Amino acid sequence: MKKRSFKKSVIFTNFFLMVLLFVLLYIILSFTIRKSLLNSVGQLRFSEASLVANNIDNFIINNQRILRDISISIRELENNSENIQKGLNIFKPYLNNFDNGIFVFNSKGELMAEVPFIDKKRIGQSFAFREYFIITTSTKKPYVSKPYLSSKTNQYSIMFTFPVIEGEQIKFVVGGSINIQSLNNPIGALQNHKIGKSGYYYIYADDRSFIFHPDNSRIAKNDVPIGVNKLFDAALNGFEGFGETVNSKGYRYLATFFRIKSTNWILGGNYPINEALQPYEEMKKNIMVSFVFVFGFVLIGSFLVFKYFNRPFKHLSDAVSKIDIEKEGIKPIVIDGRFSYLEIDPVVDKINSLLDKIVLYQNRIVEVAQNEAISLIAGGVFHDITNSLTAANTRLYLLKKYKDNDPNAEKILSELEDILNNITGLSRKLLELSYTSAGNKKLVNIRELIKGVIKICDCSKYAVKIETESAVEPWLVYGDEIALLQVFQNILLNAVQATTDKSRAIEVRISNFDNKMAILAEIPQKRYVKISIKNYGEEIKEENLKKIFEPYFTTKPGGYGIGLTVAKKIIIEHEGYIFVNSSREEGTEFIIYLPYYAEKTLEEAKSIKN
């Protein structure tokens, strides 16, 4: 598993918290600013709508006053078309208010006069079917009609009416018509009155039909279903104001509603929400750009701040990394006074305490390992001494028995002398073991050393064989012969004890390995003597392979678990390397690399070492 960087974790955490804070601020600010902006824009649009509605309201009231004045003027005229036409002609200046004409109808709805006069054929035509005439005569009150298609222009118009009552009966109905598709009146002029770039005003009645709409195809239509536009419905129930809504076509608008008080009409305004919120969208972009700069500043600031406050830990890390156990041994860590903090000093004290314990355990391991090695090697030496003493006793017996008659007595004495010399040598070797010194280094022939180990361990019955690349190669290394003897004795004994298939020999191969081309990346680029010791016992489990060189780890009953630990330590002290691999098919193999000194004198080897 890949280890995480503490520095990156801290910087990432700060960055993540800043992003989280930004998201929360962005949501809160967006909601607040959006609501505030809509409220401000809505207030502005509502004020404008009130002005537009009041203008239309004044226009309607003024037109009704004009019709009232006309009705007073023609009241006393005879019920005669010519007289009424003459009386009506004097009101031509009011065509500015009634761009579609001024009319007088009799009580039956027949046209009696009109300004401007068009054709005599129109005089006498009945307009009693028109909605404006029916309502005016039934209520006997002034009326503003719903849109209708004018017979003069074939465009939508609105008729203003005023009844002339004589006694209880209607004598005349005076009407003034405006073309709501023309720009010459306040209602028709709404076609060019834009809200923003594409917003618009419209007018509708309390029966949901449109009095005016910039889309002429919707005039006089009732095409807004109940419940589709909630604010549209609310205005019919008395609501005046503004709000965000969706119209009948599915578009989102900031809608404004204001009643035209002289009628049952409602002025509505639709301002596209994307236009209303355009400053808000610009602000969001600016906020995003600002926060990008803020994030960059925070990220760089976090890095610099962390780097500054991480100096004590970096100093401690450097101090620990400088510990070189192989060259200088274990020394206590000393921290510069500039980096002495309440949090750092206890850590340093703890590390130094652990280093002291490591020294103690290291010395103890070496001591125990040396004692174990001495015991094992001494056992082998003792076995050889016993065999030699047995041979010596046999020859002494023969010498006593046949000393006078046996012509071979001199030969037996010579053999006895050789045996005693051998015992003396073995005893001296056993004595040397008790004075093992890592500093007693010399040129060692690995091939001959391993032969001696095989003899000491009595491994011949396991068919240990040695394979080399060249029989004449001396395989010289510079090291402590006794320490290296201990290494190979440990590994060979483990191989002997682990062998389960007696039909397969324990294989020892010694070869030359040139790593100058970095064939093996784990070791430096130079020449080595490569020693491979393989047995075909049970496979070592993968989890045990990882711990096989750890102190006190063993799977062998009665074992101490320090032999391989000491072996690795000795190899390292000799600037070498040791590896192990194991599989059911290929067996278990220990591979050792030791620096190679081919055919060099002791002085030359020492000079290379120095």
SS (H, E, C) 182-197: CCCCCCHHHHHCCECC
**Which fold would CATH assign to domain 439-607?**
Heat Shock Protein 90 (3.30.565)
Give the confidence band of 433 by pLDDT, cuts at 50, 70, 90. Answer: very low
pLDDT for res 434? 43
Q: Which of 32-46, 374-388, 550-564 has the highest mean pLDDT?
A: 32-46
CA-wise closest residue to 490 among 569, 423, 437, 387: 569
Q: Are β-strands 507-514 and 465-468 bridged in parallel, bridged antiparallel, or unpaired?
A: parallel
**E-assigned strand segments in 55-124:** 101-106, 111-115
Tell me whether the CATH fold assigned to 58-179 matches the one assigned to 439-607. no
CA-wise closest residue to 563 among 482, 495, 494: 494
CA separation, residue 517 to residues 350, 521, 575 (Å)? 43, 9, 19
Give the confidence band of 403 by pLDDT, cuts at 50, 70, 90. Answer: low
- 169 φ/ψ angles, rounded to the nearest 5 degrees: -110, 155
pLDDT more than 90, % of the chain: 31
Asked if 133 and 173 count as a contact pair (C-beta separation under 8 A), the reply is yes
Q: How far apart are CA 186 and CA 52, in angstroms?
A: 8
Q: Which residues fall within 8 angstroms of residue 160, CB to CB, at 6 or more apart?
A: 60, 63, 64, 67, 98, 142, 143, 144, 145, 175, 176, 177, 178
Sole residue written with tokens 């074939």: 154
Q: How far apart are CA 525 and CA 519, in angstroms?
A: 8
Q: How far apart are CA 547 and CA 587, in angstroms?
A: 18
Q: How far apart are CA 161 and CA 141, in angstroms?
A: 8
Say which residue, 315 or 208, is predicted with more confidence. 208
Give the confidence band of 336 by pLDDT, cuts at 50, 70, 90. Answer: low
pLDDT for res 201? 96
Please check the confidence at residue 250 and state whether its pLDDT lies above 80.
Answer: yes
Please check the confidence at residue 356 and state whether its pLDDT lies above 80.
Answer: no
Please check the confidence at residue 8 and state whether its pLDDT lies above 80.
Answer: no
Condensed to tens digits (0 to 9), the pLDDT of residues 165-209 reads 988 889 999 999 999 999 989 999 999 999 989 999 999 999 999
Q: How far apart are CA 104 and CA 124, in angstroms?
A: 11
Sole residue written with tokens 């009506």: 88
CA separation, residue 81 to residues 54, 85, 92, 361 (Å)? 37, 6, 17, 134
Q: How far apart are CA 102 and CA 96, in angstroms?
A: 11
Domains of the chain by residue range: 58-179, 326-436, 439-607
Q: How far apart are CA 303 and CA 310, in angstroms?
A: 10
Condensed to tens digits (0 to 9), the pLDDT of residues 517-574 reads 778 877 888 888 899 988 888 888 888 888 888 877 777 765 657 778 888 888 988 8
- pTM for the complete prediction? 0.50
Please check the confidence at residue 37 and state whether its pLDDT lies above 50.
Answer: yes
Residue type at position 223: D
Sign for the CA dihedral angle at 472, 478, 481, 486 comes to negative
CATH number of 58-179: 3.30.450.20
Q: Which residues fall within 8 angstroms of residue 54, CB to CB, at 6 or more apart?
A: none
Sole residue written with tokens 């005046």: 240
Say which residue, 449 or 292, is predicted with more confidence. 449
pLDDT for res 372? 55
CA-wise closest residue to 563 among 431, 368, 378: 368
Q: How far apart are CA 198 and CA 243, in angstroms?
A: 18
> Which of these ranges, 300-314, 485-499, 524-538, has the smallest mean pLDDT?
300-314
Say which residue, 481 or 203, is predicted with more confidence. 203
Q: In what order do the strands lie in the sheet with 241-246?
A: 210-212, 200-205, 265-272, 252-260, 241-246
Which two tokens mark 10?
């801290």
Asked if 488 and 450 count as a contact pair (C-beta separation under 8 A), the reply is yes
For residues 461-487, give the mean pLDDT. 74
For residues 80-106, give the mean pLDDT. 91
Q: Any idea what DSSP says for residue 415?
A: H
Which two tokens mark 311?
């100096």
Give the confidence band of 435 by pLDDT, cuts at 50, 70, 90. Answer: very low
Please check the confidence at residue 3 and state whether its pLDDT lies above 80.
Answer: no
Q: Which residues fall within 8 angstroms of residue 464, CB to CB, at 6 or more apart?
A: 454, 492, 505, 506, 508
